[in-house]
């Protein structure tokens, strides 16, 4: 029995069709999700919320990402009570995973404890240095904090100035005040007047989203 053979032109056509089909499959495949890390303290962790996994501002950012059909996953690396110094000791553990955008939101506990701003500044610098040593292409967003005037005018001024100064020095993106529109609001904060309520986290998420949304574009 004579074996069936395709004519050479037909064979070329078949190869071309199969190659195009494979290319189409690759093009249609969903993009691998990239990673957005929020590295902060109790404000980021969602302290006091009924369900931090859905009500904290990082969780709300994930919902915005999903609604926009963007290939990003959010990692909430907030830890209640953390200072900048403690964050500098913890950062290597967080960087075991690939990080494409890193939001650094530490310093509030330093201010509440009256830690000298120079110490906090050095710790924030170490954290950013470690992020860039791990991956120089990681985009860093530095979230600023402010302290109440009860700590003294000189302290509050030096503390607030620390963030824009570091952002400029390191050429990173500055989010001027993480709690913009929330800090000092009795309605948007829990009874301790430090940690935002679920409604407060909605406001924080909007503030954060305006800054990071351009970084997540395809």
Does any domain span residue 14?
no
CA distance 81 to 97: 23
Q: What is the CATH number of the domain that holds 163?
A: 3.40.50.1110
Number of domains in the chain: 1
Read off the pTM.
Answer: 0.86
- pLDDT at position 23: 52
131 close to 138: Cβ distance less than 8 angstroms? yes
Tokens linked to 165: 């100064």
Does any domain span residue 165?
yes
CA distance 189 to 197: 5
Does any domain span residue 24?
no
Told to judge if 165 belongs to the known catalytic residues of this protein, a careful annotator would answer no
Per-position DSSP letters for 63-88, written without gaps between them = HHHHHTT-SEEEEE---TT--HHHHH
Given 41, 85, 195, 201, which residue is catalytic? 195
Does any domain span residue 201?
yes
Question: What is the DSSP code (8-state) at residue 40?
Answer: E
Q: Rounded to the nearest 5 degrees, what angle is found at the Cα of 98, between the Cα atoms of 96 and 99?
A: 110
Q: Which residues of the chain have pLDDT under 70?
A: 1-30
Question: What is the DSSP code (8-state) at residue 149?
Answer: G
Does any domain span residue 23?
no
Does any domain span residue 161?
yes
- pLDDT at position 12: 43
Told to judge if 201 belongs to the known catalytic residues of this protein, a careful annotator would answer no
Q: Which helix (H) or strand (E) holds 92?
A: helix 84-94
Does any domain span residue 60?
yes
- pLDDT at position 150: 84
HSE on the CB side for 143, CA within 13 Å?
Answer: 27
Per the structure, the complete domain to which residue 131 belongs is given by 35-216
Given 41, 42, 85, 201, which residue is catalytic? 42
Does any domain span residue 75?
yes
């Amino acid at each position: 029995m004579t074996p069936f053979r395709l004519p050479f032109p037909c064979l070329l056509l078949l190869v071309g069709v199969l190659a195009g089909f494979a290319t189409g499959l690759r093009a249609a495949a969903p993009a691998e999700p990239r990673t957005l890390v929020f590295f902060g303290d109790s404000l980021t962790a969602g302290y006091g919320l009924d369900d931090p996994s859905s009500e904290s501002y990082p969780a709300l950012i994930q919902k915005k990402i999903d609604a926009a059909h963007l290939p990003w996953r959010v990692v909430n690396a907030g830890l209640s009570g953390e200072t900048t110094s403690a964050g500098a000791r913890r950062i290597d553990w967080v960087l075991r995973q690939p990080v494409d955008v890193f939001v650094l939101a530490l310093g509030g506990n330093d201010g509440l404890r009256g830690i000298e701003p120079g110490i906090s500044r050095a710790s924030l610098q170490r954290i950013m240095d470690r992020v860039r040593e791990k991956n120089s292409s990681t985009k860093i967003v530095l979230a600023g904090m402010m302290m109440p005037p009860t700590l003294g005018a000189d302290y509050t001024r030096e503390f607030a100035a620390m963030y824009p100064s570091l952002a400029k020095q390191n050429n990173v993106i500055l989010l001027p005040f993480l709690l913009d529109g929330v800090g000092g609001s009795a309605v948007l904060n829990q009874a301790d007047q430090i940690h935002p309520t679920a409604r407060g986290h909605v406001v924080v998420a909007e503030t954060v989203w305006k800054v990071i949304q351009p970084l997540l574009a395809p």
